Amino acid sequence: MIVTLIVACEIGFWILLVAGLSLRYLARMPRAGVAVLLLEPVLELVLLIATAIDLKNGATADWKHGLAAVYLGFSVGLGHSTIKWVDQRFAHRFAGGPPPVKPPKYGKERTLHEWKTAGRWILAAVVALGLLQCAVWYVGGSGDISSLRNWQSKMLWVIGINLVIAASYTIWPKQPEKSPS
Please choose, from the candidates 131, 17, 124, the residue with its C-alpha nearest in 3D space to the C-alpha of residue 76: 124
Domain hosting residue 64, numbered range:
2-171
The answer to whether residue 180 sits within a structural domain is no
The answer to whether residue 10 sits within a structural domain is yes
The answer to whether residue 19 sits within a structural domain is yes
The answer to whether residue 116 sits within a structural domain is yes
pLDDT at 180: 75
Please choose, from the candidates 111, 78, 104, 83, the residue with its C-alpha nearest in 3D space to the C-alpha of residue 19: 83
Alpha carbons 121 and 159: distance in angstroms, whole number: 7
The answer to whether residue 179 sits within a structural domain is no
The answer to whether residue 30 sits within a structural domain is yes
Enter the pTM of the model: 0.91
Ranges of the chain with pLDDT below 50: none
The answer to whether residue 74 sits within a structural domain is yes
The answer to whether residue 113 sits within a structural domain is yes
End-to-end CA gap in the chain: 64
Say how many domains are in the chain: 1
pLDDT at 181: 64
pLDDT at 153: 98
**What's the alpha-carbon Rg for the chain, to the nearest Å?**
20
